[in-house]
Structure 1
């Protein structure tokens, strides 16, 4: 197992009272900050529900020093970073990630917006409409409403039962009382004693401390104020039946270590391995899925939620088996489970980026289950009501096979229709040593260095027909346990069957990858043995459903089949491996020999369809209106892609400003560049509670018409800055292994050579104003066609409906 590369963070309290955690990680290419304010929705005066969430929104609207187009969100987007915020019951978090060279300027903007928000009345009135749109979506979203309903078993006076979303009625911006409460809340909680800052990056601890001190110098100084304790939860447990079957356990007066105890318990409850609770419930036809999670934890209180996909009439039987398993679990020696849990947490940190680590540190996540955590867990189990007697059919889950070196699978043989010709596929090292002229269909690329712990593997199959919906579901189910084990071991594993293209993808720690690949191939080629029933899927918000459907709708489909063995046997495959060292390459030999289908190192590039308009209607089961406009490049030429990327960057903030802030169409508004099966596209998206899809499209088209004028407003220095900022995103010092691998895979799908990234950077740097204006005109004229995905029909020309 690789040695730990991410030591525990350094913690201290600065002279002005700001608590900081600093983590130096030499291998990171980016830096991240996470700031937690100890104040949330439950700390707001009862008269003004939603005030904390409203304030979080207002802080992003710019300051005197950094107006909106120079504020944190615009700055981070311009430099290819990530930024977001979240208001919870008792905390408000702000977090962002940037290249190291841009990080200090991001911190400046974060501290300025926290300390010196403008909060003028016009901004507040506009932003209230955004929250109103969020409220309408929340009130119509089945997932959100079912989550809210989970608290109905609690006492009416507990704040979890209250309304905290905020809307036009509760956010009475014109009221002097509201303005006074808003100002008081900001002054009371947004000060150093109430904040914790986490910084993560390749900088030394001393450098990170200096950045933290500069950040803190701007903030109002103040001691920590006690947040009012909630009334007792006053119940032990209760149950609910709806789209899912739910059991909830409430706790009062828990110790400080209860959070790590709850996390440990939920991890083992969620295990689907034989001998565990879920496996037994499935075997007895009582439930098909189980998800355990702590819904709420504050001041010694906690609410543990267990959600089952099951018949509500079986809830009493499920509850009985749950208590039986918990009684068994309580009497076991937890030492091996604690060791494995600590190992998987360590693996997770090894593959976490700067932002993930910063958020882990702000949560003060433990590195396993400590002795005090074990004591807290014993108390929690007693509170639930475990007993000394339990059934003898339970046993602890088998160890994760990927957390330690393991032998190849002994029984991962050839599938039906496969011949011995599939054996003996050469590794890159063997090809090179023998000076073979033939190219292996699995290309071990040297485009990424092989001196890190991480790597990526892509396996693609071209099949004769698209998998039916049932077959796609069975393929996904077959990988469920392997995917979970791989994730815990630091490997992100996914499989997609999109049209006539199937893709198995892995990224993360390379050491477990050969074993993960063997297990995954075995699962995918033996799906007949997998027979769980489908889970009930609660629809996500409409715009997300459109994004989920986008890859499928971007490929032509020829025929449909339910015969997995026939599709595997007649398929043709190739692949790409990146960043893998010689040891991992050699270890992959056996797994590569077991890939189903015929190896083919010259799979055809997906042809670009003739430019035309397409309208795809997706049923999202929502009254909200949602639309994506997909605008691809006319060719796969790298110069076209470079221009499209710069256009996407120039449009991102103005598009958000126009549709979300100025027109107030809804809260889900975005534009971004996407690569879909090797083709580059700019995607404009919007979701609105009141504006139809056709009207959303009109607003987007109106924005597109104004892009040339937007480009002309950029002076030469600004345009150069935009261009250089985009090029810098592809620099070795900035681009993560995961993002670099995905970029190079998309380049392979587009038919580009191995120096695709270098060619792309060169093309970006050659862009001038006229080239950008020409690209904008091609975009406006839809010279490469447009594809709309919406949850409404659009019969008018020029939009023919497609499936």
Structure 2
């Protein structure tokens, strides 16, 4: 088994009061910074609800040193990274991820925006309107309102019962008193003593410490401030309550005066509560026909307080009191067990998660300062938690501790190397990538073993695609995904993310992560997927609706395919299926171990699966009912051809558009709070994707604003000076260097390249093609894009506006 990242990062407090955690992880491709300010929405003056959230937004606006287009957000995006922030009850987090060589520039910009924010009145007025749009969407979102309603049983004096999002009424930016309150909050909390900076990356500890010190030098010195303790969660007579609707039971437990290790204890408890394995609470309730799903999680933790939420999706005829009794009975059983074996497995899965975590995930994890398992202090805290919840002493259920996760064990059986080359007539032709180097060879293996990413080390990726005679019916797909839920969770705990998705008449099974467990995970997944339909789990409850723009993003791949008949006959679908696949970065040992699973793939191997038909070159409009009063629109603009030169030009267009598009539609026009542009590859087809969600602007008007932006794109490219143009092009090409390209992203690029018919050296060809895109070529591409010469496809919550747009079926 590969060496683990060190479970504990280096921690210290610098001279100005800034606390830092530094994690040297040499296997990381990127690095990340996560800054936590110990102040959140519950720390603001009662007169100005939403002030903390408002300040978080303001800090991302330009500063004198880094004006618009040069600040942190633009800088991170120009390097292909990610950046965001979040205001919590008692903390505010700012975080980003970048290639290692760009970390210093990111930290420089983040420290500048924190230490020297521009809070002029015009900026505040504009940003308040953004919060107003968010508030309108939040107030109309059923899921958000249900989440807020969970606090209704708490004491009215506790801040969880208050309003903290901020809107036009709660943020009177023109009043001097508000401005004074904003400045007081900023000066009190935004100083080094209230901050923790976590850095994670491949750099040495000495390099990371130097970067942290450079950040600290720009932040005002200070000391920690004691945040005011909140009122009790509930009255002394009660410590729990419930909420019931037609299909769900919510049980909430208010916990007080918990020790410091209670966060670790609650995480440990919720992990085992959520287990669906035989003998556990969920399995027992399912066997009785009472419950289909269970989810336990702490909704709030601060200063020794915690609010534990246990949600059951139940049969409407089941009395809530019976479910509660079973919960307390299981908790009584759990409290009497020896937790040593469970603690060992829990520590193992946390270590596996660290192995597959990105730099950003590790940096944010380090800010939480959790243990790498259940310590003695955590076990003591867990006993106190169970006692406060009311776990019974005389439990009566026939409960069992869950069986160990099979994918966490490294003692896998010795592989039979002879199977990898296919010993059956159905699977003849499986071979390694090294044995298939001849590009002139016509024959292709249905499963390609690519070594294009040998630097993936302990990681790998597997893609299996089936082409079906019909599209799987929605309810069938839902049942299959539900059937895989427990297996998917066990695989995730062992370091393998896998999904089984349908798009048109294709199924795709994708696995990414640690390659060691992959052969066993694949074998279990194939067995589960080929069971008779009668054995498939019943329909899962309808999940909460996504925000409109996310609904459109989820639906878009299907809308880029031609309509096809549906089928709910699982066996017929498998019997007529044809499959191919791609395995990336797998060692010879893992390839051999995967031989048995590959020999059991249902369907017929087919090395000549053709790509799905591309959209014709005209204006296609699809309407999608999001069930929301908010408006949303996606515009997908395919590249001129499948040639890699056109893909390179489209990628450079996307790179140049990203910040100006956001600046124009989100900041200047304030059309909505969800505004983005990006390059997307779907079914091997490269395209530019523009998206906007707005509370008030209709889709046809959103489209007009996008068209206006595209109309000015050729001139925007002409106006870029030569030095900046070369730097932009180089920055984009650098994002595809093997040393910085994250494993999962590289694997996805190779899979999309396979679908598009790219050669095995696609990842080396792509940056070379980008560097060959000159200004005239890019302007010509922008003209084609502007004039929709290669077709536009729109997916929207609104109806088709008419000519030249055509409604799709």
Same topology, TM > 0.5: yes
What does residue 381 of structure 1 align with?
A: 386
Deviations 1:417-438 (A, max 9, x none): xx963366644289679xx996
- Change beyond 3 A, Cα 1:52–1:565: same
Residues 570 and 597 in structure 1, CA contact (< 8 A), matched pair in contact too: yes
Deviations 1:211-265 (A, max 9, x none): 0000000001111111010001124110112363211111110011000000001
Q: Map 1:38-187 to 2 at 5 A.
A: 38-187=38-187
Helix, strand or coil at the partner of 1:288: strand
CA distance in 2, matches of 1:541, 1:426: 43
What does residue 663 of structure 1 align with?
A: 669
Between 239-248 and 672-681, report the one with greater CA deviation: 239-248
CA distance in 2, matches of 1:41, 1:303: 17
Between 723-732 and 560-569, report the one with greater CA deviation: 560-569
CA apart distance, 1:456? 0.5
What does residue 35 of structure 2 align with?
A: 35
Between 3-12 and 466-475, report the one with greater CA deviation: 3-12
Tell me how large the CA RMSD over aligned residues is: 1.9
Matched, 1:538 2:544: yes
CA distance in 2, matches of 1:207, 1:765: 31
Residues 462 and 501 in structure 1, CA contact (< 8 A), matched pair in contact too: yes
What does residue 425 of structure 2 align with?
A: 421
Between 2-11 and 471-480, report the one with greater CA deviation: 2-11
What does residue 307 of structure 1 align with?
A: 311
CA apart distance, 1:794? 1.7
CA apart distance, 1:666? 1.1
Counterpart selection for 1:250 from 229, 246, 254: 254
Matched, 1:275 2:292: no
Counterpart selection for 1:642 from 634, 644, 648: 648
- Change beyond 3 A, Cα 1:636–1:439: closer
What does residue 416 of structure 1 align with?
A: none
Residues 429 and 586 in structure 1, CA contact (< 8 A), matched pair in contact too: no
CA apart distance, 1:382? 0.7
CA apart distance, 1:460? 0.7
CA distance in 1, matches of 2:634, 2:465: 27
Deviations 1:46-77 (A, max 9, x none): 00000000000000001100112100000000
Helix, strand or coil at the partner of 1:20: strand
What does residue 240 of structure 1 align with?
A: 243
Between 554-563 and 564-573, report the one with greater CA deviation: 554-563
Matched, 1:335 2:337: no
What does residue 573 of structure 1 align with?
A: 579
CA distance in 1, matches of 2:153, 2:591: 55
CA distance in 2, matches of 1:377, 1:564: 45
CA apart distance, 1:390? 1.6
Deviations 1:593-651 (A, max 9, x none): 00001111111122323212111111111111111111111311111111111111111
Matched, 1:502 2:498: no
CA apart distance, 1:592? 0.4
- Change beyond 3 A, Cα 1:559–1:348: same
Q: Map 1:257-406 to 2 at 5 A.
A: 257-311=261-315, 314-405=319-410
What does residue 190 of structure 1 align with?
A: 190
Helix, strand or coil at the partner of 2:196: strand
Deviations 1:640-669 (A, max 9, x none): 111111111111111111111111111111
Residues 479 and 539 in structure 2, CA contact (< 8 A), matched pair in contact too: no
CA distance in 2, matches of 1:406, 1:232: 50
Between 549-558 and 581-590, report the one with greater CA deviation: 549-558
What does residue 413 of structure 1 align with?
A: none
CA distance in 2, matches of 1:684, 1:244: 37
Deviations 1:329-383 (A, max 9, x none): 1111111110110000000000111101000001112101111001100111011
CA distance in 1, matches of 2:667, 2:808: 33
What does residue 680 of structure 1 align with?
A: 686
CA distance in 2, matches of 1:361, 1:504: 32
CA apart distance, 1:5? 3.0
Helix, strand or coil at the partner of 2:230: coil
CA distance in 2, matches of 1:127, 1:508: 40
Deviations 1:507-566 (A, max 9, x none): 000000000000010111115212233212110110011011111112223221111111
Between 311-320 and 548-557, report the one with greater CA deviation: 311-320
- Change beyond 3 A, Cα 1:334–1:425: farther
CA distance in 1, matches of 2:611, 2:38: 53
What does residue 23 of structure 2 align with?
A: 23
What does residue 769 of structure 2 align with?
A: 763
Helix, strand or coil at the partner of 2:319: helix
Matched, 1:468 2:473: yes
Between 650-659 and 309-318, report the one with greater CA deviation: 309-318
Residues 466 and 557 in structure 1, CA contact (< 8 A), matched pair in contact too: no
CA distance in 2, matches of 1:142, 1:6: 42
Counterpart selection for 1:440 from 431, 441, 445: 445
Between 639-648 and 553-562, report the one with greater CA deviation: 553-562
CA distance in 2, matches of 1:267, 1:790: 39
What does residue 561 of structure 1 align with?
A: 567
Helix, strand or coil at the partner of 1:718: helix
Helix, strand or coil at the partner of 1:631: strand
Counterpart selection for 2:613 from 607, 617, 641: 607
**Which consecutive unaligned segments of at least 5 residues does structure 2 have?**
416-422
Helix, strand or coil at the partner of 2:539: coil
Counterpart selection for 1:632 from 631, 638, 642: 638
Residues 629 and 788 in structure 1, CA contact (< 8 A), matched pair in contact too: yes
CA distance in 1, matches of 2:296, 2:253: 11
> TM-score with structure 1 length normalisation?
0.97
CA distance in 2, matches of 1:408, 1:618: 49
**Which consecutive unaligned segments of at least 5 residues does structure 1 have?**
411-418
CA apart distance, 1:307? 1.3
Residues 423 and 594 in structure 1, CA contact (< 8 A), matched pair in contact too: no
CA distance in 2, matches of 1:525, 1:88: 44
CA distance in 1, matches of 2:290, 2:109: 53
Residues 414 and 593 in structure 2, CA contact (< 8 A), matched pair in contact too: no
CA apart distance, 1:450? 5.7
Counterpart selection for 2:736 from 726, 730, 735: 730
> TM-score with structure 2 length normalisation?
0.96
Residues 427 and 585 in structure 1, CA contact (< 8 A), matched pair in contact too: no
CA distance in 1, matches of 2:591, 2:634: 41
Between 535-544 and 305-314, report the one with greater CA deviation: 305-314
Helix, strand or coil at the partner of 1:249: strand
CA distance in 1, matches of 2:218, 2:146: 42
Residues 493 and 504 in structure 1, CA contact (< 8 A), matched pair in contact too: yes
CA apart distance, 1:388? 2.0
CA distance in 2, matches of 1:537, 1:608: 32
Deviations 1:2-30 (A, max 9, x none): 33234420000001110000000111111
CA distance in 1, matches of 2:88, 2:455: 41
Helix, strand or coil at the partner of 2:311: strand
